[in-house]
């Protein structure tokens, strides 16, 4: 992991347990969606470890005490389609976050991302952007999403983090070289890509497996 100092791979037993179920080719879409949601929650928890808080005084039924509230304004950027399945869990963790959908699909021939939808507000009004996408394969989609956010104004001091379920070394390298300021949170760093750009061992096509469309890998 020394090659990727900004990569955070979860070692939590609950994540590892759920990830094995997620990878299983026999896992049906309903369970697959539930697992995407549950693992996203756990990864979001880890990605928020350095979020800023501000002090807050609360009154318990017994007495007053000091508490904290999340001070960072957060923007969630799910990459359509597959990133949609990660949104609900993240909103449970960060109920005040805004959600900005970004539509990118990977051209099957060139493996290059094609942007088809962008619902970013006019200006960058957040402190932290979390890009949500289950798969980091070649890194083309993630790099394109980061570039969209930076052009839009998400530059220092705005922090950008990438939350993926599974990453390939090729994708982590591409993102890290192009955007060394971006931290990546994932449940697994897999071996490599196959000739079609799918992650090995991976889980196949994250969009298809969530939405019950097609069979691939
Ligand atoms: C998948 C995945 C990522 C992208 C990763 O989306 O959800 O967005 O591929 O590959 P990359 O790192 O090589 O760019 P896909 O293009 O299949 O679209 P979908 O979510 O609509 O199925
Ligand atoms: N997109 C997916 O959904 N799966 C992969 O393995 C690679 C890209």
* Enzyme catalytic residues: 106, 110, 205, 208
Q: Give the number of the ligand closest to the Cα of residue 175.
A: 1
Instruction: Reply yes or no on whether the pLDDT at 198 is more than 70.
Output: yes
- For residues 114, 145, 165, 47, the Cα torsion angle rounded to the nearest 10 degrees is -170
- Per-position b or e across 101-134, b if 16+ CB within 10 A of its CB: bbebbbeeeeeebeeeeeebeeebebbbbbbbbb
Q: How far is the CA of 88 from the centre of ligand 1 (A)?
A: 19
Residue-wise pLDDT tens digits, 66-88: 999 999 999 999 999 999 999 99
Q: Given ligand 1 and candidates 77, 82, 131, which is best to mutate, with the most ligand atoms within 8 Å of its CB?
A: 82
Q: How far apart are CA 186 and CA 168, in angstroms?
A: 10
Residue-wise pLDDT tens digits, 136-151: 999 999 999 999 999 9
Indicate yes or no: pTM above 0.75.
yes
> By percentage, how much of the chain surpasses pLDDT 70?
98
- CB 35 near ligand 2, within 6 Å: no
């Amino acid at each position: 992991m020394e090659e990727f100092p900004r990569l955070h791979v979860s070692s939590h037993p609950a994540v590892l347990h759920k990830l094995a179920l997620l990878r299983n080719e026999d896992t049906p879409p309903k369970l697959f969606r539930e697992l995407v949601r549950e693992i996203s929650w756990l990864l979001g928890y880890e990605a928020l470890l350095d979020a800023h808080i501000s002090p807050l005084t609360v009154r318990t039924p017994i007495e007053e005490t000091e508490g904290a509230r999340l001070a960072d304004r957060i923007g969630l950027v799910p990459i359509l389609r597959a990133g949609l399945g990660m949104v609900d869990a993240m909103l449970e963790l960060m109920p005040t976050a805004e959600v900005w959908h970004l539509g990118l699909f990977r051209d099957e021939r060139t493996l290059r991302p094609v942007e088809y939808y962008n619902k970013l507000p006019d200006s960058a009004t957040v402190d932290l952007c979390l890009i949500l996408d289950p798969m980091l394969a070649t890194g083309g989609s993630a790099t394109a999403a980061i570039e969209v956010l930076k052009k839009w104004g998400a530059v220092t001091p705005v922090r950008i983090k990438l939350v993926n379920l599974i990453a390939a070394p090729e994708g982590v390298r591409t993102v890290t070289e192009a955007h060394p300021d971006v931290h990546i949170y994932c449940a697994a760093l897999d071996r490599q890509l196959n000739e079609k750009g799918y992650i090995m061992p991976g889980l196949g096509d994250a969009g298809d497996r969530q939405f019950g469309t097609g069979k691939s890998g």
